[in-house]
A and B are shown apart, each in its own frame.
Chain A
């Protein structure tokens, strides 16, 4: 996993460079881009951290870039930097799933707080994503029959009932159940239930 980084996208060189220096003084890694296109051209799926995005830019605007990121399911949190009178735009951005926005001129601490929040959210979100991904990988090793049994088990059905429902012997259900626990690396019924719930969760 790459180092968490703040990706600054702003067409104004002075604003961009000054923000880069501010982040450097905080020992936060940053990468600076002069346009939305420049960012997209360089984009790497390994990137993580957050995006600080100027809402007004020539060419592809901040709003457009954000919509594009959402469409592509690129989940890095976006903090919009807005000017005076851009509040309606900022509200729209929040509706579209922006992490937060901050109005220029801002106090450095306010921006840094938001950046830190966004970075922690990204980290937490990412570990959950990673967990989901590994569960999904385990689940994929189950046979169709084992998946049926797992579904019944997490619904809280007893082996006897499952055997009747699936028209299997009780002994066979017990074997399938043991294989499910083993393949999913679940140490208890309760853990298997949690795993199932996590897998069904969508963002």
Chain B
């Protein structure tokens, strides 16, 4: 249904089926100036014919000064070029890329400052001359609010990760003590062996090699913690879901070991790449694992088992399930489980699940749970393989 400019104008006239009212030019100007949004009228070549007072304020221009000038004076350079292309294209083919459709563009104030606006262009025919009418809304405040909200969310995620690391401090200390104890033992052995003469050379070599292996092991534990706890720009990138999970597993295992939980992992063989914020998804995973471990705190040590499974439920959805063998989610807890500041634990702020769910939602996914038939609960994160 490609139509040229002429037929579009006809459609518009038909749509406006109000009784005819004649406006005087003064009345018309008063109406234009009453509009909250900026309104700019141009001729078919983009020369400014009219500009209401909202537009004057927005761009720091006086209508009288800019009459006849190109509309490009209020656009930034790249947008102006694109605008030229759109308009050219439209004039030639009638294909709408901007006419009648709102578009977010960067506008330029007369002082050179650039700011985001929503621009919608309509067209009209006045005495057989083609006119374009631009409706412009300043998005600066809205953008700032959105950026602020995003920044606050990211900050809260970061605080939550730091809290998690804080709560895992004991487990980490234990985990670091292992390689450090081994290094200390090997070093002491080396000292003694060297005192005893050359016949122990082979043992000393072996101990030195082990010392280096254990030092690397300790460094890696620290690196995992830093990766997880660091503050950084959030952003989605294509990530291998398998790599993402394997990277956070050492932290999960650490917590499981410290709490005498048997953690079992099952990853389906062919897991896809998804577009995700890696660290946020890891944050959700670790949170679910830690909740599961916590749910079994007062169970007998032999029955503390946590299963982490990852599989493709269908062609477009990855499921990450964490199954514990605790008491399950009680009816009272179920109501408020995902609400911020709700917690059943002695320590913790009750933000984990609330934040995890918001991360899941932001990825176009879902975070939920069910109580298992016999014992415990299963929490699961569903992620679409093709996020919008």
Contact = CB atoms under 8 A, between A and B. Distances in A.
Given A18-B210, A58-B260, A85-B173, A24 B178 contact: no
A31 to B, nearest CB: 16
Interface string A95-106: 000000000111
Contacts of B271: none
Judged by DSSP, the binding face of B is: helix
Given A14-B182, A61-B301, A85-B170, A104 B188 contact: no
A21 interface: yes
Question: How many residues of B sit at the interface, in one of the four size bands?
Answer: 20 to 34
B327 interface: no
Contacts of A186: none
Given A58-B260, A83-B173, A84-B173, A18 B178 contact: no
A21 to B, nearest CB: 4
A148 B79 CA distance: 117
A114 interface: no
Interface string A119-134: 0000000000000000
A22 B170 contact: no
A22 B210 CA distance: 13
Contacts of A17: 182, 210
B73 interface: no
B189 A104 contact: no
* Interface range, A side: 20 to 34
Given A14-B179, A108-B184, A21 B189 contact: yes
Contacts of A92: none
B186 interface: yes
Contacts of A19: 185
Given A21-B203, A22-B188, A24-B189, A15 B181 contact: yes
A136 B299 CA distance: 47
Contacts of B185: 15, 18-19, 21-22, 108
A24 B257 CA distance: 29
Contacts of A12: 178, 182
Given A14-B217, A18-B183, 9 more contacts: A18-B181, A19-B185, A21-B206, A25-B193, A25-B196, A56-B174, A83-B173, A105-B184, A107-B184
29 contacts: A14-B178, A14-B182, A14-B214, A14-B217, A15-B182, A15-B185, A18-B185, A18-B207, A18-B214, A19-B185, A21-B186, A21-B189, A22-B186, A22-B188, A22-B189, A24-B189, A25-B188, A25-B190, A25-B192, A25-B196, A56-B174, A58-B262, A83-B174, A83-B177, A84-B173, A104-B180, A105-B184, A106-B184, A108-B185
Interface of A: 12, 14-15, 17-19, 21-22, 24-26, 56, 58, 61, 83-85, 104-108
